[in-house]
Amino acid sequence: MPTVHLSAATPPGPIYWDPAIFQREMERLFFRNWLCIGREEQLAHEGDFLVRTIGPESLLFVRSSAGRVQGFYNVCRHRGTQLVTEGAGSGLKSIVCPYHSWTYSLDGKLVGATYVRDLVDFRREDHGLYHVRTEPWGGFIWANLDDSAPSLHQELGRFFDRYRHVPIDRLRLGGSKVYEVEANWKLLVENFSECYHCAPVHPNLNRITPYSTGDNDAYFMADGGHGKFSGGYMTFAGDYTSMTRSGYTKRPTLPGLTEVDRQRISYHVLFPNTFFSLHPDYLMIHRSWPISPSHSRVENEFYFDPEVMARPDFDPSDAVDIWDEINQQDWRVCELAQKGTHSRVWRGGRYSDQESLVCDFDLFVKDEMRQS
């Protein structure tokens, strides 16, 4: 196990609230790395669309007439007006600017603009929407704003290989919650990366999967900074079988799981902001979106086997409810940490020997921020 964290110090307070640092993080982390945008099933039909806000950028994703998911900056090429204001929807036939009615096809081509015929050196084919790279994996839509970045599989292929035996693309959304948290996005990722806090903060979680039963099996820093993920697992205590309030469930395990998979929950961070949690009977995803230096929006989603979802007695609330409790507990301590980082006397601390993955993430941020 890497031991860098045993001699390392945590970042100082301004890392969590300085506006200039926040802006650099947007450019160097969120605009250069692969981001999990949503689920392909959200864009199942031509004209279905999804809008994402990432820092100052608004991005539009739409299923085109060719059947592909296309990504665009959500701005008109004419005067920069935001094009689509709804967060999601269906039935788009074209993309029309609400200001001067410049019109784009679902594949981003400019197909309508009045009073431009006599403009010098103006060609409609040069004024389509600005594209955003998209790639699929596991039924999810991934996007990268950097045209020169490595492919999704170059960045995360080794993580994806870990779950090749699980038909993740088959799973379907069965429950979700969205949270507004008064804490820097990095504090949320750091919190997810350790269970040092689980005994005092999460009594129900710690009862079902005691923090001492887990281990870490993926390190960013042990891999020279390649493969942008880290994480580990927690093992069920006694005969518990699921992270629900009772520790049990009527749901069968997901297809493809091994005997080892059935005995534990895997938790991984896909840098910069996606939490991937494979449970025996469901997949849970968190996305921590930075809104400001001290405010984050967290999406929490639960995916199940569609055959199980089709049963008349299907009820995801046993999973959603316990994680709502756990999430609320996490947000409270993260918000307290956010307040504490403003103290003039706190200039950073030391990692415990339970926080190697927190150090992992902090090293990722440091490495990305130092790159030109």
- How many domains would you assign to the chain? 2
Same domain, 222 and 325: yes
Counting runs of H as helices and runs of E as strands, what totals does the chain give? Answer: 9, 17
- 258 and 139 co-located in one domain: no
Query: Which domain covers residue 247, as residue numbers?
Result: 1-30+166-372
Q: Please report whether residue 324 resides in a domain.
A: yes
| Nearest by Cα to 155 from 261, 41, 274 | 274
Do residues 112 and 256 share a domain?
A: no
Tokens 């039963």 — which residue? 213
| 43 and 110 share one domain | yes
| Shared-domain flag, residues 320 and 227 | yes
110-112 and 283-292: which strand pairing?
Answer: unpaired
Alpha helices in the chain (DSSP H): 19-25, 152-162, 185-192, 198-201, 203-208, 259-262, 306-309, 317-340, 356-370
Among 83, 115, 148, the domain-final residue is: 148
* Residues sharing a CB contact under 8 Å with residue 101, sequence separation 6 or more, in sequence order: 112, 114
Global pTM?
0.93
Whether residues 370 and 243 fall in one domain: yes
Note down pLDDT in tens along the chain; length 372 residues.
556 667 789 999 999 999 999 999 999 999 999 999 999 999 999 999 999 999 889 999 999 988 999 999 999 999 999 999 999 999 999 999 999 999 999 999 999 999 999 999 999 999 999 999 999 999 999 999 999 999 999 999 999 999 999 999 999 999 999 999 999 999 999 999 999 999 999 999 999 999 998 888 887 876 666 679 999 999 999 999 999 999 999 999 999 999 999 999 999 999 999 999 999 999 999 999 999 999 999 999 999 999 999 999 999 999 999 999 999 999 999 999 999 999 999 999 999 989 999 999 999 999 999 875
The residue whose two tokens read 């009977």 is 281
User: Which of 99, 122, 148 represents a domain boundary (last residue)?
Assistant: 148
Whether residues 172 and 97 fall in one domain? no
Please indicate, yes or no, whether residues 218 and 254 belong to a single structural domain of this protein. yes
Neighbours of 47 (CB within 10 A): 16
46 and 174 in one domain?
A: no
Is residue 71 one of the residues assigned to a domain?
Answer: yes
| Residues 259 and 346 reside in one and the same domain | yes
Same domain, 244 and 359: yes
Q: Is residue 122 part of a domain?
A: yes
